[in-house]
Amino acid sequence: MDLAFTPEQQEFRAEVRSWMEAHVPKAPLKTLEGREGFDEHVAWERELASGNWGMVTWPEAYGGRGLDLIRWLIFEEEYWRAGAPLRANQNGIFLLGPTIMEYGTDEQKAKFLTPMAKGELIWAQAWSEPNAGSDMAAIRSRAVRDGDDYVISGQKTWSSRAAFADWCFGLFRTDPDSKRHKGLSFILLPLDAPGVTIRPIRQLHGETGFAEIFFDEVRVPVANRIAGEGEGWSVAMATAGFERGLMLRSPARFQAVAQRLVALYRQHADTASPDTRAAVLQAWMDAEAYALNTYHVASQVIAGAHIGAEASLNKIFWSELDRSAHRAAMSLLGATAELRTLPGGKGGGEENAWLEGYIFSLSGPIYAGSNEIQRNIIAERLLGLPR
Amino acid sequence: MDFRLTEDQRNLRDVIRDYLDKEHGPEVLRRLDEGERRDPAIWAGLVEMGIAGLLVPENHGGLEMGLIEAVLVATELGRANVSESIADTALIAAPLLAGDRQEALAAGELRVALAHPINPWIADLANADMVLTGGKTIAAPEQCEALESVDPLRLLYTPMSADADDALLDRAALITAAQLLGAGERMLDLATEYAKMREQFGQPIGSFQAIKHHLASVAVKLEFARPLIWRAAYAAQHGHARAPIHISHAKVAATDAAVFAAETAIQVHGAMGYTYEVDLHFWMKRAWALAGAWGDRAFHRQRVDEAVLGGTLPITPDQTFASE
Ligand SMILES: Cc1cc2nc3c(=O)[nH]c(=O)nc-3n(C[C@H](O)[C@H](O)[C@H](O)COP(=O)(O)OP(=O)(O)OC[C@H]3O[C@@H](n4cnc5c(N)ncnc54)[C@H](O)[C@@H]3O)c2cc1C
């Protein structure tokens, strides 16, 4: 065990810090869940790419820097420290990218990874269906083989930012006679293909952050399939591992939340109730624990370990930490918590980001596989309890 | 000692509940949300049901009921997500007004907005006929500035100067606690119904223990908030010195139960609960709003804290219902 950063790692941190200080937008962007804000976030992705910061862990050949996971964590710490925007590109770089890296052909890597790292193609995830949420193996949307193409029909739903994204990666039933996990394939397609219709869904805060996608005989080349026909489930499980695990939600994000929460507490210290004070402290302690766990997991991965069902531990921890941190903030704000714009301040006050954050934090225990499902996975696969 | 509701009280609750179920369902919330947000016909219906005059003496045209009845009605208003200022006017302000005003109020001809420094807003100021603040009524201002709440059916305005008034604060906190309880009950109902209907893995999600336990935990929280509200109403009705402490206790419990009900209900709904299309969001947002209204949980916890840990409140079991 060696818990000190090397001089090279420290230099790397300094390099990220100075780039971020020079480039991160001074004013917060509009929400990623709306058209305008989405475009602003895509512009930011391009800016990041111009500094070659799109995805530092990827090989240089694909627009990365070929760095290890420790540097990735350092990068993230500096990213959040600088208050940089959310990643419009998150489905691509954190989920699909690693999946293609593991299962894609060389042609697929060449075709998709570089534009992804550069923020040129923004991806949506098209897995869930109206009757296949937690029970994803109930997927019905089908892809029928016709020569060198698949012809796709069916419906997906809850696809985050599909209303604005360029491409999607989906799971489709390629074997019409198959049941459950068998006979599914992992297929990529452009969202402007003929036969694709997108219907944005209004989320509870009013923005259209996710969408339904309808496929009416959409033609997609077979070459857009990742891994073998009928192997989609195991590919998707690997992707889900990236989603639950250390890529999608790096600790620095929650450490930033905890740090802002502590600052908010200081503003309200004289009126805060002792249990809210305790909740604030707990949020900070949990964010710290999450960081330590992640460094430990990353160290194991660098040494060649494979993360399986353990990703479920992670997903529960970050999503519940995020929710309790924001709940504590709502308590601190008291009577002003419900206001969209906080009173006070020159020129009309600032947007109540804690309220938006609290609402979003309530989706954390639902998306990326609900926490009930994660607890089942932990109980059955890690603890060996009977099904 | 008999902690049951009387038959009349149960009837009152059932009549109001049936009425609101019929006349004030989710489709009404959607219509209001897409339109003017207030509707004179809804107000008129509530007046017709006797809610405006619930607490007004009979000789002024009211039903002359008390605070127990008021919290029962407030719970139903919360359960139905009623947004008209009927709770503020009839259940909070009415007894604090002069006799002739009460007459107009019972007839549904007067709407009162409530101003108190504990809130950074005044609800429904723009359609109020007068404002109650610091124990006095004053004219509603000609102009006021709107604030946007997370709750689309709440109409908030920036405060004009407001004066403190303990009686107003206590009554309002009690009625707000009752509304929170009602909102929590409704969210539990919505989530329970959804869990029976939604199938995954070939069975209703309500058959999974994880879902059962979530919903059962909400039921426990609500069950133990309810008698706190009833005792607080009783104590306030009978002028017990410790009523304010009971009210604070009830507000904290109702807030925690409603916020927990919201978090659990959305979890049970899965992604459906994160949409505007599904009704649940109206009640979640009402719960988040009322949680901070008329004293947030820090304020009310502090009042209980000072009384109990500070030693001013006798805490032996024989004192649970004491009046001093
Ligand atoms: C903000 C947000 C963004 C999303 N983005 C995407 C996206 O980009 N792409 C995509 O494909 N999907 C996306 N989703 C969908 C997400 O993956 C699903 O919501 C999730 O898998 C749960 O499915 P469901 O919503 O159908 O809920 P259901 O499966 O109907 O679950 C409802 C409740 O029942 C519980 N439950 C179900 N089965 C069991 C069981 N066996 N044991 C115990 N409890 C159970 C669940 O845990 C949950 O509490 C998103 C969801 C949200 C909220």
Domain hosting residue A68, numbered range = 7-88
Predicted confidence at residue A242, as pLDDT, reads 74
Predicted confidence at residue A77, as pLDDT, reads 97
- Half-sphere exposure of residue A253: CA atoms within 13 angstroms, side-chain side: 16
**Closest Cβ–Cβ partner in B148, B199, B270 for A339:** B148
Whether B267 lines ligand 1, by a CB cut-off of 6 Å, is: yes
Out of A172, A197, A230, pick the residue that ends a domain.
A230
Give the best residue of B151, B176, B276 to mutate against chain A (max A CB count within 10 A): B276
Whether B265 lines ligand 1, by a CB cut-off of 6 Å, is: no
Contact B259, B288 (CB under 8 A): yes
Whether B275 lines ligand 1, by a CB cut-off of 6 Å, is: no
Whether A351 lines ligand 1, by a CB cut-off of 6 Å, is: no
Same domain (yes/no): B189, B279: yes
Give the best residue of A33, A204, A271, A380 to mutate against chain B (max B CB count within 10 A): A204
Residue A137 domain-assigned? yes
Residue B149 domain-assigned? no
Q: How confident is the model at residue A106 (pLDDT cuts 50, 70, 90)?
A: very high
Burial of B92 (0-12, 13-18, 19+ CB in 10 A): buried
Same domain (yes/no): B199, B300: yes
What tokens were used for A136? 């994803």
Residue B287 domain-assigned? yes
Whether A158 lines ligand 1, by a CB cut-off of 6 Å, is: yes
Same domain (yes/no): A64, A149: no
Same domain (yes/no): A224, A316: no
- For ligand 1, the distance from its centroid to the CA atom of residue A135, given in whole angstroms, is 8
Q: How many domains does chain A have?
A: 3
A8 is a catalytic site residue:
no
CATH number at A178 reads 2.40.110.10
Same domain (yes/no): A34, A150: no
Residue B278 domain-assigned? yes
Q: Of A308, A325, A179, whose CA–CA distance to A259 is shortest?
A: A325
Nearest CA to ligand 1 atom 33: B268
Asked whether the predicted pLDDT for residue A346 surpasses 60, the reply is no
Over residues A231-249, the mean pLDDT reads: 82
In terms of C-beta distances under 8 Å and separation of at least 24 residues, what long-range contacts does A236-239 make, across chains too?
A236/A127, A236/A136, A236/A171, A236/A184, A236/A186, A238/A98, A238/A99, A238/A102, A238/A103, A239/A95, A239/A96, A239/A98, A239/A99, A239/A169
Per-window interface: A 172-231 vs B, CB < 8 A: 201-206, 210
Contact B276 A334 (CB under 8 A): no
Same domain (yes/no): B306, B201: yes
Residue A106 domain-assigned? no
Same domain (yes/no): B76, B175: no
Residue B294 domain-assigned? yes
Residue A151 domain-assigned? yes
Residue B38 domain-assigned? yes
Whether A373 lines ligand 1, by a CB cut-off of 6 Å, is: yes
Residue A114 domain-assigned? no
Same domain (yes/no): B245, B308: yes
Same domain (yes/no): A290, A352: yes
Give the best residue of B34, B169, B267 to mutate against chain A (max A CB count within 10 A): B267
Relative to beta strand B130-133, strand B112-114 is parallel
User: DSSP per residue over B146-169, as a string?
Assistant: EE-BSSTT--EE--------HHHH
Residue A340 domain-assigned? yes
Q: How many domains does chain B have?
A: 2
What tokens were used for A218? 């959409």
Residue A103 domain-assigned? no
Residue B151 domain-assigned? no
CATH number at B257 reads 1.20.140.10
Over residues A174-193, the mean pLDDT reads: 94
Same domain (yes/no): B95, B179: no
What distance in Å separates the CA atoms of residue A36 and residue A33, rounded to the nearest whole number?
9
Same domain (yes/no): A72, A139: no
**Closest Cβ–Cβ partner in A203, A359, A370 for B275:** A203
Domain hosting residue B65, numbered range = 7-119
Q: Of A115-129, A305-319, B299-313, which gets the smallest average pLDDT?
A: A305-319
Same domain (yes/no): A170, A71: no
Q: Can you state the angle between helices B297-308 and B243-269, rounded to 10 degrees?
A: 140
Query: Measured between CA atoms, how close is B274 to chain A, in angstroms?
Result: 5
Residue B158 domain-assigned? no
Same domain (yes/no): A255, A151: no
Residue A343 domain-assigned? yes
Same domain (yes/no): B198, B82: no
Same domain (yes/no): B41, B110: yes
Out of B94, B119, B144, pick the residue that ends a domain.
B119
CATH number at A344 reads 1.20.140.10
Query: Measured between CA atoms, how close is A21 to chain B, in angstroms?
Result: 34
Q: What is the 3-state secondary structure (H, E, C) of A139-190?
A: CCCEEEEECCEEEEEEEEEEEECCCCCCEEEEEEECCCCCCCCCCEEEEEEE
Which atom belonging to ligand 1 lies closest to the Cα atom of A360?
Answer: 1
Same domain (yes/no): A280, A187: no
Same domain (yes/no): A171, A225: yes
Q: Of A159-168, A302-311, B51-60, which gets the smallest average pLDDT?
A: A302-311
Same domain (yes/no): B92, B175: no
Same domain (yes/no): A294, A354: yes
Q: How confident is the model at residue A241 (pLDDT cuts 50, 70, 90)?
A: confident
Predicted confidence at residue A345, as pLDDT, reads 54
pLDDT digits (tens, 9 = 90+) for A52-104: 999 999 999 999 999 999 999 999 999 999 999 999 999 999 999 999 999 99
Same domain (yes/no): B217, B315: yes
Contact A227, A236 (CB under 8 A): no
Among A242, A370, A380, A381, name the best residue to mutate to test ligand 1's pocket (greatest count of ligand atoms within 8 A of Cβ).
Answer: A370
Residue A79 domain-assigned? yes
Q: Of A129, A87, A127, A93, whose CA–CA distance to A113 is shortest?
A: A93
Contact B271 A362 (CB under 8 A): no
- For ligand 1, the distance from its centroid to the CA atom of residue A134, given in whole angstroms, is 5
Same domain (yes/no): A34, A143: no
**Per residue of chain B (324 residues), what is the pLDDT tens digit?**
999 999 999 999 999 999 999 999 999 999 999 999 999 999 999 999 999 999 999 999 999 999 999 999 999 999 999 999 999 999 999 999 988 899 999 999 999 999 999 999 999 999 999 999 999 999 998 888 899 999 999 999 987 789 999 999 999 999 999 999 999 999 999 999 999 999 999 999 999 999 999 999 999 999 999 999 999 999 999 999 999 999 999 999 999 999 999 999 999 999 999 999 999 999 999 999 999 999 999 999 999 999 999 999 999 999 999 987
| pTM summary value | 0.97
What tokens were used for A265? 């507490």
Contact B275 A202 (CB under 8 A): yes
Out of B63, B85, B119, pick the residue that ends a domain.
B119
Same domain (yes/no): B61, B195: no
Same domain (yes/no): A138, A185: yes
Predicted confidence at residue A348, as pLDDT, reads 57
Residue B35 domain-assigned? yes
